[in-house]
Structure 1
Amino acid sequence: MEPCEGTVGGATKKPKPSPAPPIAALGDDFLGEILLRLPDMASLASAALACKQWHRVASDPAVFRRFDALRRPPLVGFLLTDRGDMPSPYRSPNLFFVHATRNPNLAAAAADGDFFFEDLPAVDSDDEEEGYDWDEWRLRGCDGGRLLLSRGRDGLDLAVYDPISRTAVFLRPDGVFRACTHVVRYAIVVDEADGSFLVIGFDFRGAVFSSRSGKWVKINMERVKLEKGDVTYEHEIFDKIHSFSSDGMAAGRFAYWRSNTKKDRHFNPVERIMVLDTTTMEWSVITAPFPAGESYCVADMPEHGGLCLFSSKEQCLQLWVRNSVGGWVLKKDFSLLNEWMKKIRRAEWMKRVRVLAARAGYVYMEFWSIRKANSYFLVLNMRTMKMSVFPNNPEDPHRGPAFPFFMRLEPLLGPDEDQNVHLDV
């Protein structure tokens, strides 16, 4: 009997494998899953140049946000405020802007920036009180190249202002909060993927304004998540919420408010932090793992599981991360004292380090002294441990809230677009 066709020695001949489908045949969902596995933003930017489909998927907010926290924003400078002379935000604090870039394009943009809101319209007010200008805009927050401002005796006029393009979005929280916004603590969080923003505020209740919808949405503050071991009685939650007397800061997808317990007349040696995760809209109150009074900031670090803390102890920087059960662990602890800092410490009595922000592997700090008005801004690269220094020489000290001002990140370039990056740092 003759063997069957296609066999050798009685074995069936292995069929040839089907050719792989062309890359263009990949659906957007499957391609997005592939791009999410890229190691860094540089790889994503390269992938976006492949074709229009890859650019569209790489620019999708769900993909882009995964890499946003790893992408260094262009630093333009530091916006400083004084402490003011009243506990409530009744007046505009004095402002001072420190240029902090060696890139000529960024320096030119900063030179034309309206960081003192002079182009914003004033409002006529019948409220007069000696020493106070109710018509002035007051800085309440800063993120993603936008400034959050309020004005008026009742603070009901709000504006989100881009000082580089000199454009603004005006909004009013009418009927949102129970009391006037003197007691509302605000924060702004900008989504770098599409430039949209959230304005968050709370007093007796919480509310969030979204630029996408153009509406305020109220949030139940009685459902604030407390850490294990904290009491959960309603009056205790109320007391904790109202221990946060200052405006909030942005840290990636998080907004947070410091309790500043050391400044409270009834001193409680525990520093608590109110945090809002803007992806889940979940509020929580966490207890800082370091003593009250130390300077710190919250950071969004995907490589360490998300929410992290940077604190300063004398001239040392500490990085705190969460462990598997939600507790805090000291991940890194290292001295900032290089030869230059040792010299400045001796010559100018600089001893204090104020931690301002941390983004994409960089930590932004201020090195200052209680004896002098001048200071130095430090930008530390956590990967190389190299530090850039920018001097600050004002006539008067500015020890109120300070904000690093970053240029908004540029969108990913497409395959047919000019690939010369103009505002790189």
Structure 2
Amino acid sequence: MSRRSDPTEPPPAKSPMLSSPTTINSLGEDLLLEIFLRLPSLATLVRAALTCRPWRRAVASSPAFRRRFRELHPAPLLGLVVEPQHDALPAFSPAQRRDRDVLAAIRGGDFAFTPLLDPQDHALDAPLRWRIQDCRGGYLLLLNWDAGLLATVNPLAPWGTEYFDFPFDMEASPGNPDQQPVSLDVHLLSSDEDPMWFQLVWLLYEKSRVQVVVFLSDTSDWYFLPWFEVKERLPPQDADKYWLQSGSQANGTVYWPFTNQEHMLKLDTDTMEFSVSELPPYLKGRQGCRFVVGETKDGVLCIVFCTGLSIGVLMNRVDDDGVESWILSGMVHYEVGADPPINNHTLQVMAIEDGFVYFTTSEMVLVLCLETMKLEKLFPRSFRAHHFHPYVMAWPPSLLGNYGSFFVQDGANNAN
């Protein structure tokens, strides 16, 4: 016989309904991006964000998130792109890392640069004499004198390779060979947040004046800017025709040292105006002293130079009156250990990227962190070429948002 409940007692409480479990897909974009900030590297973020459209849209629609991620996680070095010595394409020496996401990025790229083997009839049968001019924003800028072409190649997006005809005929006039301007180098200007925008800046110079020729992606045209007279080159200065060295880019300015180690030519890439400044006293007159102008992780202008097996770092300071000066912020000595260079002049500074400085000896590739001043060995040098460019992973266009087929909007997107 069933028991009857006491009418004076309250009815038993009902079992609570089980709520739906919380999943990552049910999180709002703000929480999702906070989780993404804790991922270890850009390579890991790319693999995660391209999993689905909502995750891609969350990253692509937030410049503030991308700025915070860059501050917390420097883009990983994928390897070194090495200048070929003969009729060959640039070679790639991968960084010896065990990070599976970085390795996946390397495996997914075309670091054999195969688009240059079939340049869509641009180069016809010209030799494969592509020389590296710059490496920035994930793109290599290469020059082929025989074909009269420049090319931009992104190993992680090889289908986007572009070719550009030279803006001038570099054949010297038979009657006046000395009047032909010297072509020095070409630099690539790019934007972290607009992958569709870029500029090419090509420097020409004569005995006492300089000129830049600029390619604008907005118009797909070359523009010859006015000549600039360099008073530091006027008589009684030496009359050497080749009085400038290859330049380096930092904080929106390109710097070309004078061969006599007395001055630097500077080009402000915002205004396209030239100026000249004296070299710091630490470098002035030091023939054969290799140095590179760059910037720290925080954007402070710096110069890194080598003397024997010692490395010096100069920081640019501006006082309250606006006067600039160069301060020696530190020196580091390379302890050769078990891999001594062939001679004491083989320690060479090659490039500054994202606050890291890259060097080579005859046996080793080294890196110096400007924040900690710690010098480390990356991996043994496996190439003979004297010049290389660090290839740092760039943000893919699909995570940079509002342009073309990647335009971010509410609802479905056109691309994953």
Unaligned runs of 5+ in 2: 1-40, 46-54, 173-179, 206-210, 403-407, 411-416
**1:115 — aligned with what?**
111
Query: In terms of mean alpha carbon deviation, does 203-212 or 139-148 score higher?
Result: 203-212
For residue 80 of structure 1, what is the aligned residue in structure 2?
Answer: 82
Deviation at residue 75 of structure 1 after TM alignment: 0.9
**Following TM superposition, by how much is the alpha carbon of 1:77 offset from its aligned partner in structure 2, in angstroms?**
0.9
Match of residue 157, structure 1, among 140, 149, 162: 149
Aligned to 1:342: 337
Which residue is equivalent to 2:141? 148
Mapping for residues 24-423 of structure 1, pairs under 5 Å: 58=64, 72-81=74-83, 92=87, 95-102=90-97, 103-120=99-116, 121-122=118-119, 123=121, 134-153=127-146, 155-166=147-158, 167-175=160-168, 183-195=183-195, 196-204=197-205, 205-222=211-228, 231=232, 233=234, 242-244=242-244, 246=246, 248-259=247-258, 261=259, 268=260, 270=261, 272-289=263-280, 290=283, 291-301=286-296, 303=298, 306-323=300-317, 324=319, 326=323, 328-338=325-335, 341-345=336-340, 352-366=346-360, 368-369=361-362, 375-394=363-382, 397-399=384-386, 401-409=387-395
CA distance in 2: counterparts of 1:97 and 1:214, whole angstroms: 30
How far off is 1:388 after superposition? Answer: 3.8
Give the Cα–Cα distance (whole angstroms) in 2 for the partners of residues 193 and 237 of structure 1.
Answer: 44
* Cα drift, residue 73 of structure 1: 2.6
Deviations 1:5-40 (A, max 9, x none): xxxxxxxxxxxxxxxxxxxxxxxxxxxxxxxxxxxx
Question: CA, structure 1 residues 68+112, in 2 after alignment: closer, same or farther (shift >3 Å)?
Answer: closer
Distance 1:319 1:342, change over 3 A: same
Q: State the partner residue of 1:10.
A: none
Q: Deviations over 1:239-271 (max 9, x none)?
A: 68952264x443352333344x3xxxxxx4x25
The question of whether the paired residues in 1 share the 8 Å contact of 2:314 and 2:329 is answered with yes
Alignment CA distance shift 1:215-1:178 (3 Å): farther
Pairwise CA distance, 1:221: 3.2
> Residues 144, 327 of structure 1: CA spacing in aligned structure 2 closer, same or farther, 3 A cutoff?
same
- Paired residue secondary structure (1:345): coil
In structure 2, the CA distance between the partners of 1:239 and 1:200, relative to structure 1 (3 Å rule), is farther
Distance 1:56 1:288, change over 3 A: same
Which structure would you say has the larger Rg? 2
Which amino acid counterpart does residue 75 of structure 2 have in structure 1?
P
Equivalent residue letter for 2:148: L
Residue type of the alignment partner of 1:292 = Q
CA pair 328-345 structure 1, distance change in 2 beyond 3 A: farther
Indicate how the Cα distance of structure 1 residues 157 and 281 shifts in structure 2: closer, same or farther if over 3 A, else same.
same
Change over 3 Å in CA distance of 1:74–1:212 after alignment to 2: farther
SS at match of 2:232: coil
Higher relative contact order (CA 8 A, sep 6+): 1
Q: Structure 1's 144 and 126: CA in aligned 2 closer, same or farther, altered over 3 A?
A: closer
Q: Residues 161 and 141 from structure 1, CA distance in 2 versus in 1: closer, same or farther, beyond 3 angstroms?
A: same
Aligned amino acid, residue 115 of structure 1: F
User: For the Cα contact (< 8 Å) 2:296–2:371, is it kept in 1?
Assistant: no
User: What percentage of aligned pairs have identical amino acids?
Assistant: 22
Tell me the distance in 1 between the aligned counterparts of 2:194 and 2:92: 27
Local SS of the residue matching 1:164: coil
Give, in whole Å, the separation in 1 of the partners of 2:167 and 2:108.
34
1:70 & 1:313 partners in 2: Cα distance? 33
Number of equivalent positions: 326
Q: Could you say what secondary structure the match of 2:330 adopts?
A: strand
Task: Name the SS for the 2:214 alignment partner.
Answer: strand
Q: Is the 8 A contact 2:350 2:358 kept in 1?
A: yes
- Asked if the contact 1:134–1:152 (Cα under 8 Å) also holds between the matched residues in 2, the reply is no
Go from structure 1 to structure 2 and tell me whether the alpha carbon gap of 1:156 and 1:387 turns closer, same or farther (over 3 Å shift). same
> Equivalents in 2 of 1:236, 1:212: separation in Å?
43
Q: Which runs of 5+ in 1 are unaligned?
A: 1-41, 85-90, 128-132, 225-229, 262-267, 370-374, 418-425
Which amino acid is the alignment partner of residue 398 of structure 1?
Answer: A
CA contact (8 A) 1:249 1:255 kept: yes
Distance 1:301 1:275, change over 3 A: farther
CA 1:412–1:385 in structure 2 vs 1: closer, same or farther (change >3 Å)? farther
